[in-house]
Structure 1
Amino acid sequence: MTAGSPQEETLTDRVRSAILDGDFVPNQRLVEADVCEQFGAARAAVRETFKELAGEGLVEILRNKGARVRAISREEAVEITEVRMVLEGLSAAKAAERVTPEQATRLREIVGDMREAVAVNDVDRYSELNAALHAEIRAIAGHRTSAAIIKRLGAQVVRHKFRLARQPGRAAVSLPQHELIVAAIVARDPEAAQTAMQQHLRSVTKALEAGPT
């Protein structure tokens, strides 16, 4: 691979995307032969992919039954969000310590776009911007260990987040929480940024607990 060229997508990347996009649904069996045919891959590569995704918590391998997409219960989604609350709080605090003027401008722009999405009730756009804001904060924080764990945990609860984003009025509740997070980071106040992020994710936890199983 030449310098500067995009990293080639692996089989694991492709199967992971299929799970996160809903092409494979919770509890669906992942038949080796079918996956080989769908992705044009060898059986050995498919088995290794299943092992990698099992390590990420997206797939479970059952003895004598093969692999299937792991279903994440509401209770587990709540626990995962509680862990994220600690890690993303750390990321927000680090971001407040390290944010540059250019990065602060970018955060303000994302929040401004989120306001516009709420104003026109564009739930899909708001959800995309929500994810972009959290990713931007992690990038500014530059804390690779927490970012890797957060990414893995977030992948496990993607379906719960998708349903939560579509709860009536959820975006209007979430927006001021994100505004507080960004205001604290831009003000370079690590303690306030950490508190605002944790309060936001505590709100997510409560919404998950109140939602359907």
Structure 2
Amino acid sequence: MTSYSAWKSAHTGATLWRSVARGHEQHVAPDGVLDLMWHRDRLVVAGPDSRSMTVATQPGAVTWGLRLPPGVAHALFGVPVDELTGQRVELSLLVPARNLPDRAVDSDPPGALERVYRALWAQTEPDPARLRLAASVDHAARAGVSVTASAVMHDIPERSLQRLCRNVFGYGPKSLMQIHRFQRALRLVHGGMSPSAAAAAAGYFDHPHFARECRRLTGRTPSELAAGTGRNP
């Protein structure tokens, strides 16, 4: 288990977060996002997860991270995000060290993450139009819009939408929608709603549909997940 807090970064909408491990393992459910993290004395890029992960932790260990807005990781790191799916990759393997600030990280992890993020942004200058498109596609997926309807909404062929999503999110638009729906139901359960009511509110056909997707994505039941989950490396 971890404690988790988040607030908006001052730069381009990234979310700064801090996680403190409370036990010896952490179950990480897919959430459709990428993070730049300071974890175990390393700068690490956490790719999007398509299945739940169990990570060994030390009680009290602190991880800091920046949750990147849609499309930003593809722009900053210059690789299709599906190459990072399910991976935790040291930043130095994606970005030459000479392009990163050289000030110490361990004395000020959140400040260092901001400096690295600003430096990468200045070097790559992401295209605002591409970021707006990625944000709109992500918003449609969160709203449960079908792949066909999303392609029409964004005036692009379905094949182009598939390619776009793999490049910027790490998986196709249907998987992105399913993961966002799962996370929406999970938040409702954590807020005190029953699994059946949460399933209906999140857009599942019924509770068994939610339960099947829970098992597929995490190997666990909604009741087991209701005990708590979070984003950690």
State the TM bucket, normalised to the shorter chain: under 0.3
TM-score between the two structures when normalised by the length of structure 2: 0.24
- The higher-RCO structure (CA 8 Å, 6+ apart) is 1
Q: Which has the higher helix share?
A: 1
